[in-house]
Structure 1
Amino acid sequence: MADESTKATPQEASSAEAPRHPYASVPANVARGVPNPASARLSWTDGERTIDYVSTAAHLDVRDDSGRLEGKMFSLSYVAVDGEGQADAARPVTFAYNGGPGSASVPINFGGIGPRRVETDGTSHLAASARTTDNPHTLLKDSDLVFLDALGTGWSVVADGCDPATAFSVDGDADAFARAIMDWLEKNHRWSSPIYLFGESYGTFRNAVLMRLLGERSVKVTGVVMLSAIWDWVQTLPGEDLYYLGMMPTYAAAAQFFGRAGAGVDPDEWFDRAMDFAEDVLAPALLRGDRLGAERERDVARQLSEFVGLPAGFLARRHLRVGLTEFRRRLLCDEGRVCGRLDMRFCSDEPSPMQESLDWLGGEDAADDAVEASWTNAFRAFCSDELGYEGPSVYLGQNWEHVGHTWVWQHEVPGTGEKVGAPNVAGDVALAMRRNPTMKLAIIGGRYDAATTFWNVRHDLSCQFLSPALQERVTWLRYGCGHMAYVDEPTLAAMDRDIHGFYERA
């Protein structure tokens, strides 16, 4: 899946070594088992403009300061070239990735901003015959692109002799990406290029640490794009009221989409009303707990019911707190359907009565089932047929079981003096921006994203108290889409225009 773990309960560090990748047994001093790089010169067009580019599939070295190999990170790059096949070092270069932890970068590439894209069909499941075409909304128009697979995902590997817990952690993951990015910049002679980071979901958590870490290593970052952001891991913990507050506007958006609430109201206006209700009415009610009183609780439940489409009595019995899995099952239960998680507009038939495991249902998602396999198939065909890249038969597009389950969440936000197991990396974002006030930040979210809810990231950054000058460096973009914004073609077109403006901005 694209981002299976987001909103899951953080796991403690594990001393057990994760099962091996198909070629994880690469000796630390040789590249045996890693395929040779492969490149091809190709052309992109939208019918009006043409860009010649070189695409390369290759592995980047992740080495520690002593030169010891820690892993090989798979990259798929697209670099625009002139008539003589030369790249332009003045063009930006964007390093892009998905999240998880445990997800490879195929979705954001062949689903979203790469030069090739699988055509989608609204909220319908794609057939095996789904077409891959030149992407009219590719970010290649504004920047060269390098898509990176985190160690332990895709075709990226941890070297023999290296503890996977080093790479499968908040700090180790960011460190590995920093080293791979520097390896690519060095090998491709692009140190003078404007450098951008483009992360989705946990990729935004990674971005937060990485944008600070690269600055500390004298790598100047020009801009950072946060798509479907999550920064405060506390909001994922059981019983946290920040979780319920963040979910409420997204529940309201889903209820309106399915005709259970908000009739006749503009969807953006409805979402804004829900955001205001979450802060002005629901937050004080949750804060008071059983001191709220039964009468006031019933009144708030009645108002909440009008937003989210569930019965007021049920909401009062749950003390105004409804988890995502329960909401997904209840909203359309009279139709025998379950709505999605990554994008609540997608639906599937309800499971069998014997399938009562909430953990299992939490991982079942029509929004992911509809598109994921088609993206991976397109990626594999591109690497094999057009680049001649001989990758292993197994590509770990989603390796949450072996990566996310062993993830080490301990992280010290600089200046706090303490490592915690559920960090709020909004502090890393703010510190990176204060240190580099020329850097710009774009934050993109969707109304129907129940994996990384929009209210939470607005709340997280507002609590960093950035100066007015730094706040002007932040671009907020909210669309009528889910977690993977690019699935929705109207959103992709709008995002194309807005991101073009972001890249042009000084």
Structure 2
Amino acid sequence: MKYAKQLSILFLIAGCTATSFAQRGNRGGAPAEPPAAAGAPGAAPKAEIKPLPLDPTGYIISNSPNIPKPVVTKHTAVIMGKVINYTATAGYLQLVTEDGKPKANVFFVAYTKDGVTDLTKRPMTYTFNGGPGSSSVWLHMGLLGPKRVLMSDEGMVQPPPYKYINNDYSWLDKTDIVFIDPVTTGYSRAVTNESDKQFHGYEEDLKSVGDAIRLYATKYDRWQSPKFLCGESYGTTRAAGLSEYLQSTYKFYLNGVILISSILNMQTARFDVGNDYPYPLFLPTYTATAWYHKKLSPDLQQLPLKKVLAQVEVFALGEYNTALMKGSELSPADYSSLVDKLSHFTGLSKEYIRQTNLRVEIQKFDKELRRSEGLTVGRLDSRYTGRDYNDAGTGPEFDPANDGTISGPYSAAINHYARAELKFKNDLPYEILGGRVNPWNYNNVQNKYLNVAESLRQAMAINPYLHVWVACGYYDLATPYFAAEYTFSHMGMRPEQRKHVNFTYYESGHMVYGHKPSLIKMKTDADAMYDMVMNEVNHGISK
């Protein structure tokens, strides 16, 4: 495992809750935290409950208390050259109070391998994306599921109307998988007469998604299967919180937590006045981006990416961090030296570095790096470029890696696939990524940043068999790899817990699997993780 080097001088910045650019609704980045007074759950409307009709085929067409049975279909896939026969189950898990009152219908799609006679030997992976406000379509049709959206090998979009293909690198050969859409995403909805707001918040989300996981394990007899959580982006925030919540609430113990594009400590990604954490933690990704776009000086440009990153990481944790700690007490000579080195590692002009006072925010970097060419770079994947209305301004008008690339293909894929192959006929719009969850309630962390790393540490302390896999993309400017390393190196884990955390790295962005070589490498890494954990399950640990 690779851990971030210890900081020579720790940050001494007090946390404060504030909003940030991430409120724009990008799928990949974690959300901005609203002011403490905002985001309280709204009151439920007082309209009378009226069950809504089902269509002639029996499929639900609205947010009704009456839901049909899940739809079951049989399929065959070829994964890593092997034929896998499997069953797909698409439908709703209805969340109800203990007196039986329906609260919400949570849409899920489960894939289970046929012919398995002993479910205690077959892992089950509960999977979701982030946002918050994102459906699970990205991991479903980009990485784990039996079908994947067709992109170029580099992850570039094809012409519409888009296609999906067999996923030769699905994880279904190693684990059964259930994809969960949190309330107000995908086809999931609060039932009539229930307010969406009761599900829109950190703690509210843990309860609803946690209950959906418990309900699936109960209905489909998977309590004795090895259990994994897999989340991406804010889904890693959710997964870390769920690791402790499921364990303490339902005694639902996990074997593994998979964190793709991880963000557990929101302070590492909030460019707020007075919070200097993000600047050194984002810097290596700025450097990787500049290297990819050939904007670095020849001495760095000629080196392999990892050797360039090794240099900038030392600078970020040492000299740069120390300079930020000194603030206005930094001497003029040291200030000029920092300007030179930041320009060297970012590809930005010295004049621009001075204009930012040594603090380049992510949006400014995305706009500035290729401004002279009339191009911006992506936030979710900084390999992508876009072109704004004009070249002025301090940030891009859109994220070329999100709005300009992935949203259309994934939306087309799931809307066709659900009806045509899963036979789930639903007239609701499938909410890919919406703003319907705003404002997200962070009242549990008033006057401070959300940090769920401690929840994961507690889960690992109580459950000594819990393994954690952290997958990072070098070109991810939403949840940078160096910030993830920093978070884990400051969790206070004991040596035996640290041995259960593994970091892997890919020359890709936030959606690591959008880059085909990284997709293939992730499959190899996933196979190794499942094999290791299942060997532990089957044979135990010798002391």
TM-superposed deviation, 1:372: 2.0
Q: Which runs of 5+ in 2 are unaligned?
A: 1-24, 53-62, 537-543
Q: Deviations along 1:91-142, whole A, 9 cap, x unmatched?
A: 1000111100100000111112111011211143222254322111111111
Selected match of 1:483 from 504, 510, 529: 510
Structure 2 residue matching 1:498: 3-state secondary structure: helix
Answer yes or no: is the 8 Å Cα contact 1:2–1:372 preserved in 2.
Answer: no
- The residue that corresponds to 2:4 in the other structure is none
Give the counterpart letter for 2:436 in structure 1: H
Answer yes or no: is the 8 Å Cα contact 1:74–1:156 preserved in 2.
Answer: yes
TM-superposed deviation, 1:485: 0.4
| Identity of matched residues, % | 26
Answer yes or no: is the 8 Å Cα contact 1:208–1:429 preserved in 2.
Answer: yes
C-alpha separation in 1, matches of 2:364 and 2:444: 31
Selected match of 2:423 from 376, 384, 388: 388
TM-superposed deviation, 1:5: 5.0
Q: Deviations along 1:437-475, whole A, 9 cap, x unmatched?
A: 111000111110000111111111111121111100001
- The residue that corresponds to 1:109 in the other structure is 140
TM-superposed deviation, 1:479: 1.0
TM-superposed deviation, 1:357: 8.0
Q: Deviations along 1:29-49, whole A, 9 cap, x unmatched?
A: x94465652121000014731
Structure 2 residue matching 1:456: 3-state secondary structure: helix
- The residue that corresponds to 1:8 in the other structure is 32
Does 1:238 pair with 2:272? yes
Give the direction of change, closer, same or farther, for the CA distance of 1:373–1:73 in structure 2 (3 Å limit).
same
Give the direction of change, closer, same or farther, for the CA distance of 1:432–1:383 in structure 2 (3 Å limit).
same
C-alpha separation in 1, matches of 2:50 and 2:477: 38
Does 1:335 pair with 2:373? yes
TM-superposed deviation, 1:188: 0.7
Give the direction of change, closer, same or farther, for the CA distance of 1:191–1:362 in structure 2 (3 Å limit).
farther
- The residue that corresponds to 2:466 in the other structure is 439
- The residue that corresponds to 2:104 in the other structure is 71
- The residue that corresponds to 1:141 in the other structure is 173
Give the direction of change, closer, same or farther, for the CA distance of 1:15–1:7 in structure 2 (3 Å limit).
closer
242-251 or 231-240, which moves further after superposition? Answer: 231-240
Answer yes or no: is the 8 Å Cα contact 1:63–1:179 preserved in 2.
Answer: no
- The residue that corresponds to 2:261 in the other structure is 228
Q: Deviations along 1:136-165, whole A, 9 cap, x unmatched?
A: 111111100100111111111123444433
C-alpha separation in 2, matches of 1:26 and 1:324: 48
C-alpha separation in 2, matches of 1:295 and 1:75: 59
Does 1:323 pair with 2:358? no
C-alpha separation in 2, matches of 1:374 and 1:97: 19
Give the direction of change, closer, same or farther, for the CA distance of 1:115–1:231 in structure 2 (3 Å limit).
same
Structure 2 residue matching 1:74: 3-state secondary structure: strand
Give the direction of change, closer, same or farther, for the CA distance of 1:86–1:369 in structure 2 (3 Å limit).
farther
TM-superposed deviation, 1:73: 0.8
Give the counterpart letter for 1:347 in structure 2: T
Answer yes or no: is the 8 Å Cα contact 2:364–2:394 preserved in 1.
Answer: no
Equivalenced residues, count: 488
C-alpha separation in 1, matches of 2:98 and 2:322: 50
Give the counterpart letter for 2:430 in structure 1: Y
Q: Deviations along 1:207-228, whole A, 9 cap, x unmatched?
A: 1110001111210101000000
Answer yes or no: is the 8 Å Cα contact 1:2–1:103 preserved in 2.
Answer: no
C-alpha separation in 2, matches of 1:476 and 1:148: 25
Structure 1 residue matching 2:131: 3-state secondary structure: coil
Give the counterpart letter for 2:325 in structure 1: L
- The residue that corresponds to 1:311 in the other structure is 349
C-alpha separation in 2, matches of 1:194 and 1:215: 14
Give the ranges of 4+ consecutive aligned residues of structure 1 lying more than 6 Å apart after TM superposition: 24-27
Selected match of 1:496 from 504, 519, 523: 523
TM-superposed deviation, 1:9: 4.8
TM-score of the pair, normalised by structure 2: 0.85
Selected match of 1:410 from 443, 446, 453: 443
C-alpha separation in 2, matches of 1:265 and 1:17: 55
- The residue that corresponds to 1:266 in the other structure is 304
TM-score of the pair, normalised by structure 1: 0.91
C-alpha separation in 1, matches of 2:310 and 2:102: 49
- The residue that corresponds to 2:541 in the other structure is none
Q: Deviations along 1:309-340, whole A, 9 cap, x unmatched?
A: 00122212322101111111110112111110
Alignment root-mean-square deviation, CA = 2.5
